[in-house]
Amino acid sequence: MAGTDIGWLGLAASLVLVAAAVVVSRTQRLRLEREIVVACGRGVAQLAVVGWGLAIVLSDTTPLIWAWTWSGVIVVLASRTVHRRAPQLPGILQASLVGNGGCLVVSFLVAFGLGIFPVEARVIVPVTGMIVGNAMKTVVVVSKRLEEEVADRRLELEARLALGWSGMDAIRPAVRAGLRLGLLPTIENVRGLGLIFLPGAMTGLILAGVDPQHAVLVQLALMFLILGAAALAATTVALITARRLFTADLRPVPILRLATDEGR
């Protein structure tokens, strides 16, 4: 299969445009040169490590268990990111592990069980990255919205409780708002497929010489899995967390907004 063989020379050549960005920053006095150079450096280093690791994990001689382990690590890292973004929510780390892990399991059951993709390392790792990456973004949005409801919009919550509502009923409007906010970008991505941008997976496949029609099918299958998984993960985390936001006698658990968790 004719591939795109870049090599280090090709990479160096592509840095020409990075140099252009640095020149723009210099001449326009944006003071972004340092950030651009550091970011490119980090990008090279991180992907080099990942590329090396992937080469090992994806090789035909490596047992599949390593690919599954890599998947597990991705789920844990994604859950820790959610916890970092919404640290005040009780039990958010566990809820994220269940949500991210659960949606991944369901996705794999569908993808492998229904024979959409073969069970190979080179499918497991990238698909995990895409599904969990997207699910994590949605879960973060929902979590922050719940945190906001209990920390900043307490009066609205208490007004519903004061009407004799149950905890779940009182928090449900916030759960809905968070899910809408979180899922809309992914829905937009599916809606704009092909028109606005050519998605990464498809692009990658085409660059590697795969027949575009096949690439399209793969991309579509992935997008549908991603959308479904994001919805599942976010709903799971929201419902688990919402339950823990109230005491047994239906009072909101005290939650303080920390100044430090903005802008991370």
Partner 1 sequence: MILAFGPENSLAGADAEATAGSAPLFSFEGVAIDGVARPRLDDIWLTVRPGRITVIVGPSGAGKSTLLRCCNRLEVPDRGRLLYAGHDVALLEPRALRCSVGMVFQRPVLFPGTVRSNLLAARQEATEAACAAALEAAELGTDFLDRSVDELSGGEAQRACIARALMLEPSVLLADEPTSSLDEAAARQVEQTVRSLIAGGRSVLWVTHDRAQAERLADDLVVMDAGRVVTGGTGTGSAVGRAGEDAEAPRVDI
The footprint of partner 1 (CB under 8 A) covers 155-156, 158-166, 173, 249-251
Q: Which is nearer to partner 1, 146 or 232 (CB)?
A: 146
Q: In angstroms, give the least distance from the CB of 259 to partner 1.
A: 18
Q: What phi and psi, each to the nearest 5 degrees, are found at residue 17?
A: -70, -30
Cβ 219 vs Cβ 211: under 8 Å: no
Taking the least distance from each CB to partner 1, the nearer of 248 and 259 is 248
Q: Which is nearer to partner 1, 9 or 163 (CB)?
A: 163
In three-state secondary structure terms, 86 is: coil
Distance in Å, CB of 214 to partner 1, minimum: 47
The residue (of 176 and 214) whose beta carbon lies closer to partner 1 is 176
Contact 139, 103 (CB under 8 A): no
Whole-angstrom distance, CA of residue 254 vs CA of residue 176: 22
Nearer to partner 1 among residue 63 and residue 254 (C-beta): 254
- Shortest distance (Å) from residue 246 CB to partner 1: 10
Q: Diameter of the chain by CA atoms?
A: 69
Q: How far is the CB of 87 from partner 1 (least distance, A)?
A: 21
Q: Which residues does 53 contact at the CB level (< 8 Å), separation at least 6?
A: 70
CB of 165 vs partner 1, minimal distance in Å: 8
Q: Residue 139 CB: number of other CB atoms within 10 A?
A: 33
